[in-house]
Structure 1
Amino acid sequence: MNKRVLILGASGEIGRATALKLVAKGYEVGLQYNANESAVSSLRKEIPSHQYSGDFQADLSTNEGIVTFLDTLEMEWDAVIFAGGQMWTGIFQDMHPEDMDALYNVHVKAVWMTTKHVLPYMIHQKAGSIILVSSIFGIEGASLEVAYSSVKGAQNSFVKGLAKEVAPSGIRVNAVAPGLIDTKMNAHLTKDELTALAEEIPMGRAGKAEEVSDAIDFLINGRSSYITGQIIQINGGWA
Protein backbone atom coordinates (compact mmCIF):
# COMPACT_ATOMS: atom_id res chain seq x y z
CA MET A 1 0.00 0.00 0.00
CA ASN A 2 1.27 3.48 -0.87
CA LYS A 3 2.22 5.79 1.97
CA ARG A 4 -0.26 8.58 2.63
CA VAL A 5 0.96 12.15 2.98
CA LEU A 6 -1.12 15.10 4.17
CA ILE A 7 -0.01 18.45 2.73
CA LEU A 8 -1.25 21.59 4.48
CA GLY A 9 -1.10 24.66 2.25
CA ALA A 10 -1.42 22.61 -0.93
CA SER A 11 -2.75 25.54 -2.95
CA GLY A 12 0.55 27.44 -2.73
CA GLU A 13 3.43 26.98 -5.11
CA ILE A 14 5.57 24.97 -2.69
CA GLY A 15 2.61 22.83 -1.64
CA ARG A 16 1.71 22.16 -5.27
CA ALA A 17 5.27 21.31 -6.31
CA THR A 18 5.60 18.98 -3.33
CA ALA A 19 2.32 17.21 -4.08
CA LEU A 20 3.26 16.57 -7.70
CA LYS A 21 6.75 15.37 -6.79
CA LEU A 22 5.46 12.93 -4.18
CA VAL A 23 2.74 11.63 -6.49
CA ALA A 24 5.43 10.95 -9.10
CA LYS A 25 7.25 8.91 -6.44
CA GLY A 26 4.15 6.80 -5.75
CA TYR A 27 2.76 8.47 -2.61
CA GLU A 28 -0.92 9.11 -1.98
CA VAL A 29 -1.64 12.73 -1.05
CA GLY A 30 -4.33 14.63 0.83
CA LEU A 31 -4.58 18.36 0.24
CA GLN A 32 -5.53 21.10 2.70
CA TYR A 33 -6.25 24.61 1.49
CA ASN A 34 -8.06 27.71 2.67
CA ALA A 35 -9.48 30.04 0.02
CA ASN A 36 -7.82 29.05 -3.27
CA GLU A 37 -10.15 26.25 -4.34
CA SER A 38 -9.37 26.75 -8.03
CA ALA A 39 -5.67 26.01 -7.45
CA VAL A 40 -6.50 22.76 -5.66
CA SER A 41 -9.04 21.81 -8.34
CA SER A 42 -6.35 22.29 -10.97
CA LEU A 43 -3.87 20.26 -8.94
CA ARG A 44 -6.40 17.48 -8.38
CA LYS A 45 -6.63 16.93 -12.16
CA GLU A 46 -2.92 16.01 -12.21
CA ILE A 47 -3.22 13.37 -9.50
CA PRO A 48 -4.33 9.83 -10.40
CA SER A 49 -7.49 8.86 -8.54
CA HIS A 50 -5.80 5.94 -6.76
CA GLN A 51 -3.23 8.36 -5.30
CA TYR A 52 -5.72 10.98 -4.18
CA SER A 53 -6.70 10.95 -0.50
CA GLY A 54 -9.10 13.90 -0.62
CA ASP A 55 -9.00 17.63 -0.10
CA PHE A 56 -9.86 19.59 3.01
CA GLN A 57 -10.95 23.21 3.04
CA ALA A 58 -10.05 24.84 6.34
CA ASP A 59 -9.25 28.32 7.59
CA LEU A 60 -6.43 27.61 10.03
CA SER A 61 -6.08 31.25 11.03
CA THR A 62 -8.78 30.83 13.68
CA ASN A 63 -9.13 28.44 16.59
CA GLU A 64 -12.59 27.44 15.33
CA GLY A 65 -11.18 26.66 11.89
CA ILE A 66 -8.49 24.41 13.36
CA VAL A 67 -11.01 22.50 15.49
CA THR A 68 -13.40 22.05 12.56
CA PHE A 69 -10.56 20.82 10.34
CA LEU A 70 -9.43 18.20 12.84
CA ASP A 71 -13.01 17.06 13.47
CA THR A 72 -13.21 15.96 9.82
CA LEU A 73 -9.63 14.72 9.38
CA GLU A 74 -8.79 11.05 9.76
CA MET A 75 -5.73 10.23 11.83
CA GLU A 76 -4.04 7.66 9.57
CA TRP A 77 -1.27 9.55 7.79
CA ASP A 78 2.28 8.32 7.27
CA ALA A 79 3.62 11.85 6.89
CA VAL A 80 2.45 15.42 7.29
CA ILE A 81 3.94 18.45 5.52
CA PHE A 82 3.15 21.93 6.80
CA ALA A 83 3.56 24.19 3.77
CA GLY A 84 0.92 26.80 4.54
CA GLY A 85 1.99 30.41 4.25
CA GLN A 86 0.56 33.62 5.68
CA MET A 87 2.55 36.80 6.17
CA TRP A 88 2.04 40.23 7.65
CA THR A 89 4.41 42.92 6.45
CA GLY A 90 4.76 46.29 8.13
CA ILE A 91 6.00 48.14 11.19
CA PHE A 92 5.48 46.01 14.27
CA GLN A 93 3.78 48.82 16.22
CA ASP A 94 1.09 48.99 13.52
CA MET A 95 0.14 45.34 13.88
CA HIS A 96 -3.29 44.60 15.30
CA PRO A 97 -3.88 41.77 17.81
CA GLU A 98 -6.12 39.92 15.35
CA ASP A 99 -3.26 39.84 12.84
CA MET A 100 -0.99 38.41 15.53
CA ASP A 101 -3.60 35.77 16.35
CA ALA A 102 -3.91 34.75 12.71
CA LEU A 103 -0.15 34.27 12.29
CA TYR A 104 0.06 32.35 15.55
CA ASN A 105 -2.82 30.06 14.62
CA VAL A 106 -1.61 29.26 11.09
CA HIS A 107 2.07 28.76 11.86
CA VAL A 108 2.08 27.51 15.45
CA LYS A 109 -1.22 26.30 16.88
CA ALA A 110 -2.39 24.52 13.71
CA VAL A 111 1.00 22.78 13.59
CA TRP A 112 0.73 21.74 17.25
CA MET A 113 -2.87 20.55 16.99
CA THR A 114 -2.52 18.69 13.69
CA THR A 115 0.66 16.98 14.85
CA LYS A 116 -1.05 15.92 18.09
CA HIS A 117 -3.91 14.54 15.97
CA VAL A 118 -1.73 12.33 13.75
CA LEU A 119 0.94 11.22 16.22
CA PRO A 120 -0.99 8.31 17.80
CA TYR A 121 -1.16 6.50 14.46
CA MET A 122 2.52 7.15 13.70
CA ILE A 123 3.53 5.97 17.17
CA HIS A 124 1.47 2.81 16.70
CA GLN A 125 3.14 2.21 13.33
CA LYS A 126 6.59 2.99 14.78
CA ALA A 127 7.18 5.18 11.72
CA GLY A 128 6.33 8.61 10.43
CA SER A 129 7.66 11.89 9.12
CA ILE A 130 6.67 15.44 10.00
CA ILE A 131 8.11 18.25 7.88
CA LEU A 132 7.63 21.99 8.27
CA VAL A 133 8.28 24.67 5.69
CA SER A 134 9.84 27.34 7.89
CA SER A 135 11.76 30.39 6.65
CA ILE A 136 15.14 32.07 6.65
CA PHE A 137 13.44 34.74 8.77
CA GLY A 138 12.90 32.19 11.53
CA ILE A 139 16.69 31.90 11.74
CA GLU A 140 17.91 35.39 10.90
CA GLY A 141 14.90 37.57 11.75
CA ALA A 142 13.70 40.38 9.53
CA SER A 143 12.71 44.01 9.94
CA LEU A 144 9.07 44.59 8.94
CA GLU A 145 8.51 40.84 9.36
CA VAL A 146 8.91 40.71 13.13
CA ALA A 147 5.85 38.62 14.00
CA TYR A 148 6.38 36.31 11.00
CA SER A 149 10.00 35.82 12.08
CA SER A 150 8.73 34.98 15.56
CA VAL A 151 6.31 32.24 14.50
CA LYS A 152 8.85 30.74 12.12
CA GLY A 153 11.39 30.70 14.95
CA ALA A 154 8.77 28.89 17.05
CA GLN A 155 8.41 26.30 14.28
CA ASN A 156 12.15 25.67 14.32
CA SER A 157 12.15 25.14 18.09
CA PHE A 158 9.14 22.84 17.77
CA VAL A 159 11.03 20.70 15.25
CA LYS A 160 14.08 20.37 17.48
CA GLY A 161 12.08 19.56 20.61
CA LEU A 162 9.57 17.14 19.09
CA ALA A 163 12.26 15.31 17.13
CA LYS A 164 13.92 14.28 20.40
CA GLU A 165 10.63 13.25 21.97
CA VAL A 166 9.36 10.99 19.18
CA ALA A 167 12.63 9.58 17.79
CA PRO A 168 12.32 6.43 19.99
CA SER A 169 8.99 5.78 18.23
CA GLY A 170 10.61 5.83 14.78
CA ILE A 171 9.21 9.25 13.85
CA ARG A 172 11.41 11.91 12.27
CA VAL A 173 10.72 15.66 12.48
CA ASN A 174 12.53 18.16 10.25
CA ALA A 175 12.07 21.50 8.54
CA VAL A 176 13.20 23.28 5.42
CA ALA A 177 13.93 27.01 5.72
CA PRO A 178 13.65 28.66 2.31
CA GLY A 179 15.20 32.01 1.53
CA LEU A 180 13.86 34.13 -1.33
CA ILE A 181 11.64 31.85 -3.42
CA ASP A 182 9.77 32.84 -6.57
CA THR A 183 6.21 32.49 -5.23
CA LYS A 184 3.12 34.66 -4.82
CA MET A 185 4.12 35.28 -1.21
CA ASN A 186 6.68 37.75 -2.55
CA ALA A 187 4.20 39.46 -4.86
CA HIS A 188 4.23 42.55 -2.62
CA LEU A 189 7.82 43.23 -3.64
CA THR A 190 8.53 45.45 -6.63
CA LYS A 191 10.73 44.32 -9.49
CA ASP A 192 13.50 46.61 -8.27
CA GLU A 193 13.22 45.20 -4.74
CA LEU A 194 13.42 41.64 -6.04
CA THR A 195 16.47 42.54 -8.14
CA ALA A 196 18.18 44.13 -5.13
CA LEU A 197 17.49 41.05 -3.00
CA ALA A 198 18.79 38.72 -5.71
CA GLU A 199 22.03 40.71 -5.78
CA GLU A 200 22.52 39.90 -2.09
CA ILE A 201 22.25 36.17 -2.76
CA PRO A 202 25.54 34.47 -3.67
CA MET A 203 23.80 32.37 -6.32
CA GLY A 204 22.34 35.56 -7.78
CA ARG A 205 18.69 34.55 -8.06
CA ALA A 206 15.55 33.59 -6.24
CA GLY A 207 14.94 29.92 -5.65
CA LYS A 208 12.18 27.85 -7.25
CA ALA A 209 9.35 26.04 -5.51
CA GLU A 210 10.58 22.81 -7.09
CA GLU A 211 13.95 23.25 -5.38
CA VAL A 212 12.20 23.40 -2.02
CA SER A 213 10.11 20.35 -2.87
CA ASP A 214 13.30 18.45 -3.77
CA ALA A 215 14.50 18.90 -0.19
CA ILE A 216 11.12 17.86 1.21
CA ASP A 217 11.21 14.74 -0.97
CA PHE A 218 14.65 13.92 0.43
CA LEU A 219 13.53 14.38 4.03
CA ILE A 220 10.42 12.24 3.66
CA ASN A 221 12.07 9.13 2.26
CA GLY A 222 14.56 6.52 3.37
CA ARG A 223 17.61 8.39 2.07
CA SER A 224 17.33 10.64 5.12
CA SER A 225 16.64 7.87 7.64
CA TYR A 226 19.26 9.17 10.12
CA ILE A 227 18.25 12.82 9.88
CA THR A 228 15.90 14.35 12.44
CA GLY A 229 15.58 17.61 14.33
CA GLN A 230 17.22 19.56 11.50
CA ILE A 231 16.41 22.86 9.80
CA ILE A 232 17.66 22.54 6.23
CA GLN A 233 18.35 25.98 4.74
CA ILE A 234 17.49 26.43 1.07
CA ASN A 235 18.62 29.93 0.35
CA GLY A 236 21.29 30.06 -2.37
CA GLY A 237 23.88 30.99 0.25
CA TRP A 238 21.88 34.02 1.47
CA ALA A 239 22.32 34.55 5.21
Structure 2
Amino acid sequence: MKQHTAMITGASRGIGAAIAKKFAAEGWNLVLTCLHSKEKLETQALELHAAYGITCFTFAGDMGSKRDVQDCFRRMEERFEGVDVLINNAGISHAGLFTELSLEDWEQVMRTNSTSVFLCTRQALPYMLKQKSGSIVNISSVWGCVGASCETAYSASKGAVNALTMALAKELAPSGIAVNAIACGAIDTDMNACFTEEEKADIAEEIPAGRFGTPDEVAGLVFAVACQPSYLTGQIMRLDGGWI
Protein backbone atom coordinates (compact mmCIF):
# COMPACT_ATOMS: atom_id res chain seq x y z
CA MET A 1 0.00 0.00 0.00
CA LYS A 2 1.11 3.54 -0.73
CA GLN A 3 2.39 5.45 2.29
CA HIS A 4 0.65 8.80 2.46
CA THR A 5 2.42 12.13 2.93
CA ALA A 6 1.25 15.16 4.88
CA MET A 7 2.76 18.64 4.74
CA ILE A 8 2.52 20.86 7.81
CA THR A 9 3.67 24.47 7.73
CA GLY A 10 4.77 26.17 10.94
CA ALA A 11 5.58 22.75 12.38
CA SER A 12 8.40 23.49 14.81
CA ARG A 13 6.25 24.18 17.87
CA GLY A 14 2.76 24.39 19.33
CA ILE A 15 -0.13 23.27 17.17
CA GLY A 16 2.07 22.45 14.18
CA ALA A 17 4.37 20.19 16.22
CA ALA A 18 1.37 18.40 17.74
CA ILE A 19 -0.14 17.82 14.29
CA ALA A 20 3.17 16.44 13.03
CA LYS A 21 3.34 13.99 15.94
CA LYS A 22 -0.24 12.83 15.37
CA PHE A 23 0.29 12.11 11.68
CA ALA A 24 3.63 10.42 12.38
CA ALA A 25 2.00 8.20 15.00
CA GLU A 26 -0.51 7.15 12.33
CA GLY A 27 2.32 6.16 9.97
CA TRP A 28 2.34 9.13 7.59
CA ASN A 29 5.47 10.53 5.96
CA LEU A 30 5.91 14.21 6.68
CA VAL A 31 6.98 17.48 5.09
CA LEU A 32 7.64 19.96 7.89
CA THR A 33 8.38 23.66 7.48
CA CYS A 34 9.31 26.56 9.74
CA LEU A 35 10.76 30.02 9.32
CA HIS A 36 13.29 30.51 12.11
CA SER A 37 13.73 27.24 14.07
CA LYS A 38 15.64 25.09 11.60
CA GLU A 39 17.66 23.12 14.19
CA LYS A 40 14.59 22.53 16.33
CA LEU A 41 12.64 21.29 13.31
CA GLU A 42 15.42 18.92 12.27
CA THR A 43 15.65 17.52 15.80
CA GLN A 44 11.91 17.01 15.82
CA ALA A 45 12.08 15.17 12.49
CA LEU A 46 14.79 12.83 13.80
CA GLU A 47 12.73 12.09 16.90
CA LEU A 48 9.61 11.32 14.88
CA HIS A 49 11.58 9.04 12.56
CA ALA A 50 13.09 7.20 15.52
CA ALA A 51 9.75 6.83 17.30
CA TYR A 52 7.51 5.93 14.37
CA GLY A 53 9.79 4.90 11.50
CA ILE A 54 8.38 7.48 9.12
CA THR A 55 10.30 9.65 6.65
CA CYS A 56 10.51 13.40 7.30
CA PHE A 57 11.58 16.16 4.92
CA THR A 58 12.26 19.50 6.59
CA PHE A 59 12.47 22.97 5.08
CA ALA A 60 13.30 26.29 6.69
CA GLY A 61 11.85 29.20 4.75
CA ASP A 62 9.10 31.79 4.42
CA MET A 63 5.84 30.21 3.28
CA GLY A 64 4.65 33.70 2.39
CA SER A 65 7.41 33.91 -0.24
CA LYS A 66 6.71 32.57 -3.73
CA ARG A 67 10.38 31.71 -4.21
CA ASP A 68 10.70 29.82 -0.91
CA VAL A 69 7.48 27.88 -1.44
CA GLN A 70 8.50 26.87 -4.95
CA ASP A 71 11.93 25.80 -3.66
CA CYS A 72 10.34 23.80 -0.85
CA PHE A 73 8.02 21.90 -3.19
CA ARG A 74 10.75 21.32 -5.78
CA ARG A 75 13.02 19.76 -3.19
CA MET A 76 10.20 17.85 -1.52
CA GLU A 77 9.08 16.35 -4.83
CA GLU A 78 12.57 14.89 -5.29
CA ARG A 79 11.73 12.63 -2.33
CA PHE A 80 7.95 12.32 -2.51
CA GLU A 81 5.68 12.57 -5.54
CA GLY A 82 3.56 15.16 -3.78
CA VAL A 83 1.47 15.64 -0.66
CA ASP A 84 -1.84 13.92 0.01
CA VAL A 85 -2.75 16.27 2.85
CA LEU A 86 -1.73 19.91 3.27
CA ILE A 87 -2.11 21.57 6.66
CA ASN A 88 -1.63 25.33 6.40
CA ASN A 89 -0.67 26.18 9.97
CA ALA A 90 2.03 28.87 9.69
CA GLY A 91 0.84 32.01 11.42
CA ILE A 92 1.68 35.00 13.59
CA SER A 93 -0.41 37.29 15.76
CA HIS A 94 -0.39 41.04 16.26
CA ALA A 95 -2.11 42.91 19.08
CA GLY A 96 -2.62 46.65 19.32
CA LEU A 97 -4.89 49.53 18.46
CA PHE A 98 -5.87 49.83 14.80
CA THR A 99 -4.77 53.48 14.81
CA GLU A 100 -1.26 52.32 15.74
CA LEU A 101 -1.12 49.48 13.20
CA SER A 102 1.58 50.14 10.60
CA LEU A 103 1.33 49.11 6.98
CA GLU A 104 4.43 46.97 7.48
CA ASP A 105 2.81 45.05 10.37
CA TRP A 106 -0.42 44.65 8.38
CA GLU A 107 1.42 43.26 5.37
CA GLN A 108 3.53 40.90 7.49
CA VAL A 109 0.46 39.40 9.18
CA MET A 110 -1.40 39.03 5.88
CA ARG A 111 1.66 37.54 4.17
CA THR A 112 2.28 34.97 6.90
CA ASN A 113 -1.33 34.04 7.68
CA SER A 114 -3.09 34.38 4.32
CA THR A 115 -0.64 34.56 1.42
CA SER A 116 1.11 31.44 2.70
CA VAL A 117 -2.16 29.51 2.40
CA PHE A 118 -2.58 30.69 -1.19
CA LEU A 119 1.00 29.86 -2.20
CA CYS A 120 1.23 26.43 -0.56
CA THR A 121 -2.20 25.37 -1.77
CA ARG A 122 -1.39 26.43 -5.31
CA GLN A 123 1.79 24.34 -5.28
CA ALA A 124 0.13 21.30 -3.72
CA LEU A 125 -2.83 21.15 -6.08
CA PRO A 126 -1.28 19.76 -9.30
CA TYR A 127 -0.51 16.43 -7.58
CA MET A 128 -3.91 16.29 -5.87
CA LEU A 129 -5.71 17.09 -9.13
CA LYS A 130 -3.76 14.38 -10.90
CA GLN A 131 -4.74 11.87 -8.21
CA LYS A 132 -8.31 13.24 -7.99
CA SER A 133 -7.99 13.14 -4.21
CA GLY A 134 -6.51 15.12 -1.38
CA SER A 135 -7.34 17.17 1.67
CA ILE A 136 -6.42 20.71 2.63
CA VAL A 137 -6.92 21.76 6.25
CA ASN A 138 -6.36 25.41 7.12
CA ILE A 139 -5.68 26.36 10.72
CA SER A 140 -7.79 29.45 11.33
CA SER A 141 -9.20 31.26 14.36
CA VAL A 142 -12.55 32.15 15.85
CA TRP A 143 -11.47 35.77 15.37
CA GLY A 144 -11.67 35.14 11.64
CA CYS A 145 -15.35 34.39 12.20
CA VAL A 146 -16.34 37.22 14.56
CA GLY A 147 -13.37 39.62 14.80
CA ALA A 148 -11.42 40.67 17.88
CA SER A 149 -10.84 44.14 19.27
CA CYS A 150 -7.17 45.17 19.05
CA GLU A 151 -6.44 42.24 16.70
CA THR A 152 -7.72 43.69 13.45
CA ALA A 153 -4.91 42.48 11.18
CA TYR A 154 -5.00 38.98 12.67
CA SER A 155 -8.79 38.83 12.43
CA ALA A 156 -8.73 40.05 8.82
CA SER A 157 -6.07 37.52 7.85
CA LYS A 158 -8.02 34.62 9.33
CA GLY A 159 -11.26 35.91 7.82
CA ALA A 160 -9.51 35.72 4.45
CA VAL A 161 -8.47 32.14 5.18
CA ASN A 162 -12.07 31.22 6.03
CA ALA A 163 -13.43 32.79 2.84
CA LEU A 164 -10.74 31.13 0.72
CA THR A 165 -11.59 27.79 2.35
CA MET A 166 -15.28 28.01 1.49
CA ALA A 167 -14.74 29.29 -2.05
CA LEU A 168 -11.98 26.84 -2.97
CA ALA A 169 -13.98 23.92 -1.56
CA LYS A 170 -16.68 24.57 -4.14
CA GLU A 171 -14.12 24.81 -6.93
CA LEU A 172 -12.31 21.58 -6.00
CA ALA A 173 -15.22 19.38 -4.91
CA PRO A 174 -15.71 17.96 -8.44
CA SER A 175 -12.09 16.78 -8.30
CA GLY A 176 -12.53 14.90 -5.03
CA ILE A 177 -10.38 17.34 -3.03
CA ALA A 178 -11.66 18.54 0.34
CA VAL A 179 -10.90 21.99 1.77
CA ASN A 180 -11.79 22.72 5.39
CA ALA A 181 -10.64 24.98 8.21
CA ILE A 182 -10.34 24.61 11.97
CA ALA A 183 -11.20 27.89 13.70
CA CYS A 184 -9.33 27.61 16.99
CA GLY A 185 -10.31 29.41 20.15
CA ALA A 186 -7.92 29.95 23.04
CA ILE A 187 -5.27 27.25 22.68
CA ASP A 188 -2.44 26.87 25.20
CA THR A 189 0.53 27.71 22.96
CA ASP A 190 3.43 30.16 22.85
CA MET A 191 1.23 32.54 20.85
CA ASN A 192 -0.62 33.27 24.08
CA ALA A 193 2.57 33.91 26.04
CA CYS A 194 1.76 37.63 25.84
CA PHE A 195 -0.90 37.09 28.53
CA THR A 196 -0.13 36.95 32.23
CA GLU A 197 -1.40 34.00 34.28
CA GLU A 198 -4.07 36.26 35.73
CA GLU A 199 -5.20 37.29 32.25
CA LYS A 200 -5.28 33.65 31.13
CA ALA A 201 -7.44 32.80 34.14
CA ASP A 202 -9.85 35.60 33.22
CA ILE A 203 -10.10 34.30 29.65
CA ALA A 204 -10.66 30.74 30.88
CA GLU A 205 -13.58 31.97 32.98
CA GLU A 206 -15.25 33.27 29.81
CA ILE A 207 -15.01 29.84 28.13
CA PRO A 208 -17.88 27.48 28.96
CA ALA A 209 -15.43 24.54 29.00
CA GLY A 210 -13.51 26.44 31.71
CA ARG A 211 -10.06 26.08 30.18
CA PHE A 212 -7.80 26.66 27.19
CA GLY A 213 -7.69 23.99 24.52
CA THR A 214 -4.53 21.94 23.94
CA PRO A 215 -2.44 21.51 20.78
CA ASP A 216 -3.11 17.77 20.97
CA GLU A 217 -6.85 18.41 20.77
CA VAL A 218 -6.34 20.50 17.65
CA ALA A 219 -4.11 17.81 16.17
CA GLY A 220 -6.71 15.12 16.79
CA LEU A 221 -9.41 17.12 15.03
CA VAL A 222 -7.12 17.99 12.11
CA PHE A 223 -6.27 14.33 11.55
CA ALA A 224 -9.92 13.29 11.77
CA VAL A 225 -11.00 15.96 9.28
CA ALA A 226 -8.14 15.18 6.88
CA CYS A 227 -9.16 11.51 6.77
CA GLN A 228 -12.87 12.08 6.18
CA PRO A 229 -14.51 11.42 2.80
CA SER A 230 -14.21 14.40 0.46
CA TYR A 231 -17.94 15.04 0.85
CA LEU A 232 -16.97 16.86 4.06
CA THR A 233 -15.73 20.09 2.52
CA GLY A 234 -16.12 23.85 2.79
CA GLN A 235 -16.56 23.76 6.57
CA ILE A 236 -15.20 26.18 9.18
CA MET A 237 -15.16 24.08 12.35
CA ARG A 238 -14.82 25.97 15.64
CA LEU A 239 -12.74 24.32 18.33
CA ASP A 240 -13.26 26.74 21.19
CA GLY A 241 -14.91 25.03 24.17
CA GLY A 242 -18.19 26.82 23.42
CA TRP A 243 -16.54 30.23 23.77
CA ILE A 244 -17.87 32.04 20.68
Same fold (TM over 0.5): yes
The one-letter code sitting in structure 1 at the alignment partner of 2:160 is A
Equivalent residue for 1:4? 5
Per-residue CA deviation, residues 125-160 of structure 1 (Å, 9 max, x unaligned), is: 010000000001101110110010000000000000
TM-aligned CA distance change 1:129 to 1:7, over 3 Å: same
Confirm whether residue 156 of structure 1 aligns to residue 162 of structure 2. Answer: yes
* 4+ runs deviating over 6 angstroms: none
Equivalent residue for 2:183? 177
In 1, Cα distance between the equivalents of 2:66 and 2:26?
34
Equivalent residue for 2:28? 27
1:1-239 to 2 correspondences below 5 Å: 1-48=2-49, 51-62=54-65, 65-66=68-69, 68-70=71-73, 72-74=75-77, 76-222=82-228, 224-239=229-244
TM-aligned CA distance change 1:65 to 1:92, over 3 Å: farther
| RMSD, aligned CA | 1.7
Give the gaps of 5 or more residues in structure 2.
none
In 2, Cα distance between the equivalents of 1:234 and 1:37?
29
Asked whether the 8 Å contact 2:84–2:128 carries over to 1, the reply is yes
In 2, Cα distance between the equivalents of 1:108 and 1:128?
20
- Tell me the CA shift for residue 100 of structure 1: 1.3
In 2, Cα distance between the equivalents of 1:53 and 1:71?
15
The one-letter code sitting in structure 2 at the alignment partner of 1:85 is G
Q: Percent identity?
A: 37
- Tell me the CA shift for residue 30 of structure 1: 0.8
- Tell me the CA shift for residue 64 of structure 1: 5.2
TM-aligned CA distance change 1:55 to 1:228, over 3 Å: same
The count of residues paired between Structure 1 and Structure 2 equals 238
Asked whether the 8 Å contact 1:122–1:171 carries over to 2, the reply is yes
- Tell me the CA shift for residue 84 of structure 1: 1.1
Per-residue CA deviation, residues 42-78 of structure 1 (Å, 9 max, x unaligned), is: 3113222752231011123555544554554537111
The one-letter code sitting in structure 2 at the alignment partner of 1:57 is A
The one-letter code sitting in structure 1 at the alignment partner of 2:54 is Q
Give the gaps of 5 or more residues in structure 1.
none
Secondary structure of the residue aligned to 2:218 is: helix
